Structure 1
Amino acid sequence: MKLIAIALTATGLLATAGTAAAAVSDVEFLRASRCRGLAESGVAQVDTAAMDAFLKAEQRTRTTFVADRGKAEFDKARREGKTDNAERKARLTAELNGPCQAYKG
């Protein structure tokens, strides 16, 4: 009987740990939305399939406020990426090729 209780407890802990490890914070979701906006703006050529899949999967668990904020971040980054300023474009390309790599798959 004790063995069964230990096995059930261990199974529950592993299931909880797996769920917690897979969870992405709202801040990371917003960063991924920004990265997707930069990618769409044409700052650099990027395959966005992995980002699209990530955002689609993560948006299901977000509140309406966070999902709307993600859309706003996407739009803002897309506008920002359409700049003619060479210095700003270089900074955005570095962002897309640096921190945004985490969301590319």
Structure 2
Amino acid sequence: MDEYGWAASLEMPARDAVRAGWGATVAALPVGSKITGVVIGRRPFGVFIRMDGVPDAIALAEITRMPLGMDLPALEASTSGEVYWHDDRNHQVRVRLDEWQGAPE
């Protein structure tokens, strides 16, 4: 398997559905909310997460929030984190993964 890519067995939410549901996503996941989900995309800058209970939304955990010496989770890995920002331009919920909490930065 390539280090970066998209999970073949997990679908990305439709772009139109993500945009249409953005207001509901922000209301359902205020800053500080805990999320769980599955990694559906792995890129050099971070991972995209399909969140449980919010099928028309996508989360992004960027490496800028990842402590030194840690790795990005693998494709299709279950993960959890905390919402720290809503990116209105890209309709993404930005999260810091729980596994990154408490590690030296």
Q: TM-score range by the shorter chain?
A: under 0.3
- Higher fraction of strand: 2
TM-score computed with the length of structure 2 as normaliser: 0.22
Larger radius of gyration: 1
Q: Higher relative CO (CA 8 A, sep ≥ 6), structure 1 or 2?
A: 1
